[in-house]
Amino acid sequence: MLGSTLQMSLIAQLPLAQAGQLLLVAGIVFVVITLICSTYRFHQMIQLGENALLTTEDCNDFFFIQVTRYLSKINRASSGFGVLIIQIQTQETDKRTLQEALLKSVKTIIRKTPDKACLFRDDCVAAIIATEEENVSGLAQRIMEDIKEESLSLIGISAIRAGASSFPQHGMNTQKLIDTATDALEAASFESPMPFCMAPPPATENEGVAPDEPAGELSKQDKNSALDPLTGVLSPSVIGSYMRKYLSEIRRKHEPASLLCVGINRIDQIIRMHGELAADDVTAGVSQVLQRLTRDSDLIGRYHRDDFLVLAPCSLEQGEMIAVRLREAVQKEIFVSGAKRIKASVSIGITAHPEHGRNLRDLFRNAYRALEIVREWNTSACLVYDPVQHAKKAEHEARS
């Protein structure tokens, strides 16, 4: 109050012009201070919002996404992995605190990379173990032996049990692997000296498998697979739902994302000159380049015979850099089909969240539009979608 009275007294003693300037400066300072305080509060609210969003459904979605990411990169790292679900038994009402304590213990036991652990349901911790299929059971059991000792020292946890499944033996899509591990969990007993159950092999595992075809290998007849049998990336039947879930998780973290629409150029010409099998070999080869040069955090899927999608948690500028790197790598590659050596190229349309859309449908539509424009140029290039120029062109074509 004294400061305000003194300030007003000083203003009253100044000429009118100077008093006005002083009031203007004081007003600007007040606005700046208010903005700084508001920004600080805004970031506090964002952080609070992220923590508040960790509901049971959020945890389940996050675990679903992690398994999907392992499926999408399975040809890059190894040929298998395991899903381990650990459940706590407690009389405490605050299960989340115990869940987080158990999660912390699990993370100290599994490898930092490439294994992954996260919360699941309202009383479980789930882990993804990157190892060969035949090693999943033994490794999961050893993890449980260590976890059992540590968990019983946590006040509030009276017992634990666990169930596990493995890829590809117990399924080739995300939901099947999680459901099978959950069923194995229900078969385990809290009272058992080793409360762990590995899902049994499917009853129909060897039915319909040719004598020279190894059981568990990706089959072209498996229509329920999350992976495209030719390319080893997400199949057209699941790419939409999986990428929507992943984009939702990226949005929840307030992070940017880029969507790359990658199209193989002149695939019809390859078919005419070299045949269908050669076109398949080129498509599979392009997929291998994409998998080799993208990160584990990127999701790759095939949505058309000669088209792929890459969803990457990164800025638009970084997405453009990834696209240029992929285009140049494909251009340098020589694809082999039998005795034939074939050169190919790709064009890439690029969009970013939130600049070009807030959902997968809009991002895909705009990225595909950019890809179409490059193909009209009859060249190999990368093009970022321009909402002004490209939207007008699309509108013009719709009217004509």
pLDDT, tens only, 71-130? 766 655 556 889 999 999 999 888 899 999 999 999 999 988 788 899 999 999 999 998
Structure tokens belonging to residue 193 = 């000296």
More confident residue, 262 or 215: 262
Domains of the chain from N-terminus onward: 56-198 (3.30.70.270), 239-399 (3.30.70.270)
CA distance 282 to 280: 5
Determine what percent of the chain falls in helix, strand and coil, rounding each to the nearest 5.
Answer: 50, 20, 30
CA distance 224 to 71: 13
Cβ neighbours of residue 12 closer than 8 Å, sequence gap 6 or more: 19
Q: Which residue has the tokens 């007008």?
A: 392
Please report which helix (H) or strand (E) contains residue 3, including its range: helix 2-13
Cβ atoms < 10 Å from Cβ of 175: 15
**CA nearest to 350, candidates 373, 372, 375, 367:** 367
**Among 41-45, 51-55, 374-378, the least confident range:** 41-45
* Positions of E strands within the chain: 81-90, 116-120, 124-129, 157-167, 196-198, 257-264, 299-304, 307-312, 334-337, 340-343, 346-353, 382-384
How far is the first Cα of the chain from the last one, in angstroms, to the nearest whole number?
71
Structural contact between residues 178 and 65, judged by C-beta atoms closer than 8 angstroms = no
Q: Does 47 score more than 50 pLDDT?
A: no
Q: Band the pLDDT of 238: cuts 50, 70, 90.
A: confident
DSSP calls for 368-392: HHHHHHHHHTTS--EEE--TTHHHH
**pLDDT value at residue 171:** 81
Dump pLDDT digits (tens) for 158-207. Answer: 999 999 999 888 887 888 899 999 999 999 999 988 899 999 988 644 34
Q: What is the mean pLDDT of residues 46-58?
A: 53
Q: Does 48 score more than 50 pLDDT?
A: no
Cβ atoms < 10 Å from Cβ of 238: 20
Q: Does 258 score more than 50 pLDDT?
A: yes
What phi and psi, each to the nearest 5 degrees, are found at residue 351? -130, 165
Q: What is the mean pLDDT of residues 43-48?
A: 35
